[in-house]
């Protein structure tokens, strides 16, 4: 039991360190201009962010299956639940970083669609009239 507890603590420490590094990198990227952030990240970095996110998700699912096992002693189950929470936080941060790095790759495009302003105005007036009859607050 002590060996398992020690292994879980080592895993928690490693995943927590990954969370700290991910959060630090995300903060640095957000502070940069989009052009600087694009230059800072390589294509391989972006692939690693996605792989990290997927790995943490699969690890989280695996740990969840252990936690839901009724045969585990409560002490082990409680430790695994805490480990899963740490993994979930790391996955959330990895997903945030991965999502931002993907956004940096997609340049916004302008649309040449024509807007029918009379129809838009009529729709807004209709909606405003509905809200007037049934206010939200």
Report, as an integer, the average pLDDT of 40-61: 90
24's tokens: 């630090």
With respect to residue 57, please indicate whether it lies within any of the assigned structural domains. Answer: yes
Say if residue 92's pLDDT is above 80. yes
Q: Tell me how many domains the chain contains.
A: 1
Least confident of 1-5, 77-81, 87-91, 102-106: 1-5
* Any domain includes 126: no
Percent of the chain with pLDDT over 90: 46
The answer to the question of residue 118 being in a domain is: no
Regarding predicted confidence, which is higher, 76 or 25? 25
pTM of the entire predicted model: 0.72
Residue 114's φ and ψ, nearest 5 degrees, are -95, 135
In a domain, 121, yes or no: no
Q: Is residue 86 part of a domain?
A: yes
Task: Identify the pLDDT of residue 8.
Answer: 87
Identify the pLDDT of residue 98: 94
Cα 18 to Cα 16: distance, rounded to the nearest angstrom: 5
Is residue 116 assigned to a domain? Answer: no
pLDDT > 90? residue 75: no
pLDDT of residue 29: 94
Is residue 137 predicted with pLDDT exceeding 60? no
- Residue 65's domain is classified under what CATH number? 1.20.58
Which stretches within the chain are classed as H helix?
2-31, 34-40, 43-67, 74-105, 117-133
């Amino acid at each position: 039991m002590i060996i398992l507890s020690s292994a879980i603590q080592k895993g928690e420490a490693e995943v927590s360190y990954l969370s700290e590094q991910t959060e630090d990198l995300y903060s640095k990227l957000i502070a940069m201009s989009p052009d600087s952030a694009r230059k800072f990240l390589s294509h391989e970095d972006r692939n690693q962010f996605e792989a990290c996110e997927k790995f943490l998700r699969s690890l989280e699912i695996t740990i969840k299956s252990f936690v839901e096992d009724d045969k585990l002693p409560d002490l082990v189950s409680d430790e695994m639940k805490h480990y899963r929470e740490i993994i979930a936080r790391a996955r959330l941060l990895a997903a945030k970083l991965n999502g931002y790095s993907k956004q940096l790759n997609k340049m916004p495009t302008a649309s040449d669609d024509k807007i029918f302003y009379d129809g838009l105005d009529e729709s807004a007036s209709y909606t405003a009239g509905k809200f007037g009859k049934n206010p939200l607050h």
